[in-house]
Structure 1
Amino acid sequence: MGETDGVTDLLVPGDHRADGVLDDAAVLAAMLRVEETWLAALVVHDVAPPAAALPAGGLGRLVGDGDLAVLAREADDSGNPVVALVALLRARLEDAGEPDAARWLHRGLTSQDVVDTALVLGAREGVRRVRLDLATQVARLAQVVAAHRDTLAAGRTLTQHAVPTTVGLRGAGWLTGLLDADDDLAALEADGWPVQVGGAGGTLAALVAQAGPERARAVVATLAEQLGLRPVAPWHGRRRPLTRVGDALTTTTDAWGHLAADVLALGRPEVGELAEGAGGGSSTMPGKANPVRSVLLHRAALAAPAHLATLHLAAAGQVEERADGAWHAEWPALRALVRGAVTAGGHATDLLAGLVVHADVATARAHEAAEVLTAEQRSMAALAGPAPRAVTADADPASYLGLAGDLVDAVLVRAATHQAAHQAAHQTRPSPTPEVP
């Protein structure tokens, strides 16, 4: 297949950051990979004759850039893109003098097998990119948190002054959110991404009829192995593999949303405790520096839950062996979630790379609000008895920080462990599985 630009969207700033992840070209490439890997597995296990084996270049050599638009239009006739794709491939294999490959292509599969497995491959790539960004973000944010472990700041609840806190502890909250999100994403990879192969009704009857049960299992296992996926029972009507991805990615955008909301609130000119390193411009106000990275992160955090809700509604709407519309509703929702998270990951990395902490401003504001911030401290002092560690009234907010430092240290230890594990994983990671067996 030739080079094709990914989907970009004028109304989704930053969408280009997700090029190659579940855009039309990537989905088509993934479906081709599933089809050619399946055909190769049929040949390897003597289900299809040796003459059905594809030459170098696989199926990609048969498909050009102009085919995307045609396949998209023809998907309207059958409700999915696979029917038109298989017809196109068979015709071109015949034209190329490969009748056995044309005859055995797609045999034993169903459209949902190809679409679902292609979506899993796309989601896997998206999660891989997000996790790379998260590793960078954790390292950078840990530096910020450590540097401002004891920097005094005014704590706020419901937008109003509450008790004293530190910039480090506030940042530790953001850092914990990133670490929790990466734990969820790591679990997806640790458990293995599932292949989808069930045939027309989830029984693999066509493959078993042709090859017998043992070879049928072997073909599925080979497909999964060559795609780097986990062989599992067909999940046509059980959609947890996709809702689980959506849950983890939405947890991630939640964490970024928390970070972005704090930067937006604390970066207001009248507050001035935080700032983006470089702001975006205005079309009418020269010199205006808008916190664009935070704005776009906030957008991602607001949009993701609706897409996730669609995935769960579709999972709840499954019926019999293939859902009538619920399956189809998943595709754009999953695409938006995965691409949105990849895009947001880049924005979050940029934001943290340039994040500016105005420590002097944060500390000065805490002292300015000392009377309010120490109100709880004074009330506790009034209750204190003669115990050696009795609380005393003190107008200095820095004397009422509780376990702030200890809490920060605990998160920094967790971040260091995360960084070490990430570095070890990348040093020992095996070479990628070849796309075609």
Structure 2
Amino acid sequence: MAHLLWPGDERAGALVSDAALLAAMVHVEQAWLDALAAEGIAPATADLSRLVDGDDVEEVALAAEGGGNPVLALVGLLRDRVSDPAAASWLHRGLTSQDVLDTALVLCVREALDRVVSELRRQLESLVRLAEAHRDSAMVGRTLTQHAVPTTFGLVAATWLEGLLEAAEEVTRVRAGLPAQLGGAAGTLAASTELARLRGLEDPEAASVRLVRRTAEELGLADVLPWHVRRTPITRLGDALVTCTDAWGHVATDVVLLCRPEVGELAEPVADGRGGSSTMPQKQNPVLSVLIRRAAIAAPALGATLHTAAALAVDQRPDGAWHAEWDTLRTLARRTVVAASQASELLAGLQVDHDRMRLNLDAAGSGVLSERETMRRVLAETRGRTDAAPPSYLGATPLLIDAALTRARTFLESA
């Protein structure tokens, strides 16, 4: 997929696309129908996997306005195309549209999370190499845009590493607990319980609960209480994605600054057709960093929309707040995947000019060591003398880098 106004969107491929969502909804219907049959409630199941495909997206989408969501049209298509009338009549029984769409969105975003985690691992490996290679690459530290005290690029890379580790840990945690949404019309499982009772099952309530468990297990999702108006699963997903774009935005912002010609300490990887100007041939724009920053700027507003929708969920099923989540979450997931891919490419090919860093540090003059002189004066006032000045003023930088590297290696080896 390509997007004229979101360059790089094709990096997300078909993730959370209309066709992927349609397939995921069919997967949910299949798992539920199979569970109905396994519990002895439905007389038969059927193979739904080949009944609809991407060619049906437009038909379902056009019909979605009538019911306010795409599930009704999909269920109609499936029932028309199931060859066994007995199985067709049991399709979707006990579910509601929100069950199907919520669970399908979770399934689709799960694939996006898997891609993000994979990209984060690549980035961590790149940053481990950078931190190791440049642990002694001295450079000017900058605070509030001004020269501060010396640091090393190894510590800069280690700081990026810590941010990406936190993002990776959060995404991994959220990924591990993704829930199915299976509650029926108002979150009571009344329809499936009644079906079990009418079929003569001894404990219809327990059968209804087993239906949920079977379906969730088949989908590889957690079996939890219905969350039609308890939207924490969605906001957690959104927050994990925004945490990633925050971390990449921090990296990209540093890179944009350090790529400035007057600084010249970093350069983006070079690729044919990238970074040029339509009118100024001398330019080599840091396009990857620019596009990553774009995602970091836009993502929090999408996350905020998810939180607003969660706060406005009303009664037992939301009236519009739920509907506002769908494309918001899809857009956030796809943009996060795109930014993840761009960040991996940026870090894998980042060019570090050690000599320019040293030159800039030397050009900063004695001012970058003024804090050290202040510390020495304090010592002289209290002890009446000062010891010889150390050759550098890098504090515990080596230990800080080692701590970040140890944490990163532990994470990388754990999966």
TM-score (norm 1): 0.89
In 2, Cα distance between equivalents of 1:249 and 1:333 = 12
When residues 391 and 20 of structure 1 are mapped into structure 2, their CA distance, relative to the original with a 3 A threshold, is farther
Match of 1:66 in 2: 55
1:407 to 1:392, Cα distance in 2 relative to 1, 3 A: same
Distance in 1 separating the partners of 2:261 and 2:404: 30
Alpha-carbon deviations, 1:325-355, whole Å to 9, x = none? 1000111111111111111110011001110
Match of 2:395 in 1: 402
- Equivalent residue for 1:26, pick from 20, 25, 38: 20
- In the TM superposition, residue 143 of structure 1 has moved relative to its aligned partner by 0.4
Report what 2:323 is aligned to.
Answer: 328
SS in 1 for 2:140: strand
Mapping of residues 99-248 of structure 1, within 5 Å: 99-190=85-176, 192-211=177-196, 212-248=204-240
Give me the whole-angstrom Cα distance separating, in 1, the residues matched to 2:53 and 2:122. Answer: 37
Residues 388/277 of structure 1: CA separation in 2 closer, same or farther (3 Å cut): farther
Match of 2:199 in 1: none
Q: How far off its partner does 1:8 sit?
A: 3.2
Aligned AA for 1:155?
G
State the distance in 2 between where 1:390 and 1:85 align: 83
CA separation in 2, counterparts of 1:89 and 1:374?
Answer: 73
**Distance in 2 of aligned mates of 1:231 and 1:352:** 38
For 1:380, the equivalent position in structure 2 comes to 375
Q: 1:311 aligns with which of 294, 298, 306?
A: 306
Distance across 2 between alignment mates of 1:8 and 1:100: 42
The reply on whether 1:415 has 2:404 as its aligned counterpart is no
| C-alpha separation in 1, matches of 2:25 and 2:167 | 29
CA distance in 2, matches of 1:30, 1:257: 31
- Output one character per residue of 1:197-256: Cα deviation in whole Å (capped at 9) or x when no partner: 000000000000111111111111110111001111000000000101111111111000
Instruction: Work out whether residues 224 and 231 of structure 1, in 8 Å CA contact, stay in contact via their aligned partners in 2.
Output: yes
Name the counterpart of 2:68. Answer: 79
Query: CA 1:389–1:369 in structure 2 vs 1: closer, same or farther (change >3 Å)?
Result: farther
The change in CA–CA distance for 1:303 and 1:342 in structure 2 (over 3 A counts) is same
CA distance in 2, matches of 1:193, 1:376: 50
Alpha-carbon separation, structure 1, partners of 2:223 and 2:32: 13
What is residue 266 of structure 1 aligned with on the other side? 258
For 2:57, the aligned partner's letter is L
- TM-aligned CA deviation for residue 284 of structure 1: 3.0
Change (3 A) 1:105 1:180: same
State whether residues 275 and 356 of structure 1, in contact with CA within 8 Å, keep that contact through their aligned partners in structure 2.
yes
Give 1:281's match in structure 2, choosing from 276, 282, 294. Answer: 276
Q: Tell me how far apart the structure 2 counterparts of residues 66 and 152 of structure 1 sit (CA, whole Å).
A: 58
Q: Closer, same or farther in 2 for the Cα pair 1:269/1:214, shift >3 Å? A: same
Q: Distance in 2 between matches of 1:287 and 1:222?
A: 62
* Distance apart, 1:151 and its partner CA: 1.0
User: SS state of the match for residue 62, structure 1?
Assistant: coil
- The 8 Å contact of residues 22 and 53 in structure 2, kept in 1 or not, is answered as no
Q: Within the alignment, does 1:354 sit opposite 2:346 as a pair?
A: no
Partner Cα distance (2:331, 2:195) in 1: 39
Question: Is 2:26 the partner of 1:40?
Answer: no
Separation in structure 2 between the aligned mates of residue 323 and residue 171 of structure 1, nearest angstrom: 45
CA contact (8 A) 2:267 2:351 kept: yes
Partner of 1:429: none
> Matches of 1:370 and 1:277 in 2, distance apart?
31
Q: Does 1:254 align with 2:246?
A: yes
Assess if the C-alpha contact under 8 Å between 1:377 and 1:391 holds in 2: no
Aligned length: 405
Change in Cα spacing, 1:152 to 1:44, as seen in structure 2 (3 Å) is same
Show structure 1 runs of 5+ residues with no match.
1-6, 423-437
- 2:4 matched residue in structure 1: 10
Percent of aligned positions that are identical: 52
SS across alignment from 2:141: strand
CA RMSD of aligned residues (A): 1.7
Shift of 1:285: 3.1
Identify the range of structure 1 (332-341 vs 306-315) with the bigger mean alpha-carbon deviation. Answer: 332-341
Distance in 2, matches of 1:374 and 1:92, equals 77
SS at 2:2's partner residue? coil
* Aligned counterpart, 1:343: 338
Verify the 8 A CA contact 2:23 2:53 in the aligned structure 1. no
Structure 2 match to 1:435:
none
Point out the more displaced range, 365-374 or 259-268.
365-374
Deviations, residues 97-120 of structure 1 (Å, cap 9, x unaligned): 321121000000000000000011
